[in-house]
Amino acid sequence: MGVAQVVFIVLGLITVAAAVAVVSLPNLFHSALSLVLALFALAGLYALLGAGYIAVVQVLIYVGAVAVLIILGIMVSERFMGHRRQAISEQWWIGAIAAALLLAVLSYLGVRVAWPVVVQQPPSDMVARLGEALVGKYVLPFEVASLVLVASLIGAIYIARERS
Amino acid sequence: MMDSILGTIPLSWYLVLAAALFCIGLYGVLARRNAIAILMSVELILNGANLNFLAFWRYTGPQDFDGVVFALIVMAVAACEAAVGLALIIAIFRDRRTVDLDNIDLMRG
């Protein structure tokens, strides 16, 4: 077994274990910390795929912004949730069955379908060419994404504002 | 070195891992009662999708950047989703003093 396979298996196991912890730990704060661990392991997997830029963006955006935002949200609201009720709904087993069925179908497809794999290198100046593509071929999705970001920022401020 | 990585890790490993992440997130969305926990499960789902995008980009056409650009846009949308979701949760919390979704059934018919 090659080094890459061992790295993949270790990172994959960390990711899955942390993801299971996110959905099963009763304490929200512990869930959020597990989410950070899962996101870090995923950044490692992106780097293993040769998408180093996405790995860095993953750490910056997800770990640096989204996870911190979620932890902040937990801290704001948890003070008032003194009576911690059951964290999992009574009908959790229906969700578990649905998720297990979907996992079986998706895994079967992933393993069985003959994907048209080509053995090719990503270009060595990938980040530069990605930047050019973002303002060239993909300029419309890029601009739409910035518009969505601005709209959601304004919306978030408006929704969460203090009403007097 | 990258060739050996492509040669040793099959694409299906990434697909199975991404499917596992997606399904764990799906279970979280269906089973958790707390709105913030559901938001975190949605982040897991989006990351499973991102892993699929990047795996397919790497294994079926690394000269184009379709998969990478898609992953970047998904991250931007995920950031928006977290911001708006938490704003909604804070607004609901201010109003109802709870983020337990079983108690937030204002729109139930």
Q: What is the pLDDT of residues B31-66, one digit of tens each?
A: 988 888 899 999 999 999 999 999 999 988 888 888
CB of B17 closer than 8 Å to CB of A7: no
* Residue A139: per-residue pLDDT: 93
Q: Does A123 touch chain B if contact means CB atoms closer than 8 Å?
A: yes
> How far apart (Å, rounded) are the C-alpha atoms in residues A48 and B6?
10
Of A75, A105, A103, nearest in space to A16 by CA: A103
> How far apart (Å, rounded) are the C-alpha atoms in residues B48 and B46?
5
Per-residue pLDDT of A4-47, as tens digits, reads 888 999 999 999 999 999 999 888 889 999 999 999 999 999 99
Smallest CA–CA distance from B72 into chain A, residue:
A54
* Residue B34: per-residue pLDDT: 83
| pLDDT value at B5 more than 70 | no
CB of B58 closer than 8 Å to CB of A53: no
Whether A88 and B91 lie within 8 Å, measured CB to CB: no
ipTM: 0.89
* Residue A21: per-residue pLDDT: 94
Question: What is the pTM assigned to this prediction?
Answer: 0.89
Mean pLDDT score across all residues of chain A: 87
Neighbours of B31 (CB within 10 A): 24
CB of A39 closer than 8 Å to CB of A61: no
Residues of A in contact with B75 (CB under 8 A): 57-58, 61-62
Q: What is the mean pLDDT of residues A126-155?
A: 91
* Residue B1: per-residue pLDDT: 45
CATH number of A3-82+125-160: 1.20.120.1200
Name, in order, each residue with C-beta under 8 angstroms of A101's C-beta and a sequence gap of 6 or more.
Answer: none
Residues of A in contact with B105 (CB under 8 A): none
* Residue A81: per-residue pLDDT: 57
**Mutation for testing the B interface, residue in A103, A113, A154 having most B CBs under 10 Å:** A103
Q: Is A146 exposed, middle or buried (0-12, 13-18, 19+ CB in 10 A)?
A: exposed
Whether A62 and B43 lie within 8 Å, measured CB to CB: yes
What are the angstrom distances between the C-alpha of A65 and each of A111, A113, B61?
35, 37, 31
Whether B59 and A8 lie within 8 Å, measured CB to CB: no
CB of A22 closer than 8 Å to CB of A87: no
Whether A148 and B86 lie within 8 Å, measured CB to CB: no
> How far apart (Å, rounded) are the C-alpha atoms in residues A73 and A77?
6
Per-residue pLDDT of A133-147, as tens digits, reads 889 889 999 999 999
Q: Does B95 touch chain A if contact means CB atoms closer than 8 Å?
A: no
Amino acid A79 reads R
| pLDDT value at B2 more than 70 | no
The sign one gets for the Cα dihedral B7, A52, A32, B71 is negative
**Mutation for testing the B interface, residue in A59, A70, A71, A113 having most B CBs under 10 Å:** A70
In sequence order, what are the beta bridge partners of B100? B34
Q: What is the mean pLDDT of residues B92-100?
A: 76
Phi, psi (deg, nearest 5) at residue A90: -65, -25
